[in-house]
Amino acid sequence: MRITKEEWYMQIAETIALRSTCNRKKVWCIIVKDWLIISTWFNWVARWEAECPENWCSVSDSSWCHTIHAEINAIINTARLWVSIYWAEIFVTLKPCSDCSRALINSWISKLYYKWSSDKYETWHNIKIEDYIETFKM
Ligand SMILES: [Zn+2]
Ligand SMILES: [Zn+2]
């Protein structure tokens, strides 16, 4: 059976999240405009670092996580290519945290599709992304 475009983007996202450099959590996102993939990335450490320090970034303590979140990396990549993400849509495996939510809102992203949400981020959230961006849980 033929899957929907939304399911297709999310399946791509899940598969390629395996490129993440975080030992604790692997997140991927795809930015789509007019149904074309215009940017993508995973949660990634700074370019010269191999991955999150194994003993530091753990399930019990994420305070040493070195990654730049997937959404921020995807936004950064559009700047490298001079691509506009105005009114684009984003597919992300994990619901954006507060900082990423703000960045997406100010990037004028029109729609957010996400798969999982983190309790920790929910409690940290002092901004409701749903109030600004049409949001769908898949
Ligand atoms: Zn990490
Ligand atoms: Zn984030």
The token duo for 94 is 């994990």
Distance separating alpha carbons of residues 70 and 90, to the nearest angstrom: 11
pLDDT tens digit sequence for 74-97: 999 999 899 999 999 999 999 998
pLDDT tens digit sequence for 36-85: 999 998 888 887 777 777 666 766 666 677 788 999 999 999 998 999 99
Cα 96 to chain center, whole Å? 6
Other C-beta atoms closer than 10 Å to the C-beta of 38 total 18
Distance separating alpha carbons of residues 62 and 42, to the nearest angstrom: 17
Q: Which residues surround ligand 2, an ion (CB under 5 A)?
A: 69, 97, 100
Gap from CA of 8 to ligand 2 centroid (Å): 23
Please tell me the number of the ligand nearest to residue 92's CA: 2
Q: Which residues surround ligand 1, an ion (CB under 5 A)?
A: 22, 24, 52, 57, 65, 67
pTM for this predicted structure: 0.87
Please tell me the number of the ligand nearest to residue 103's CA: 2
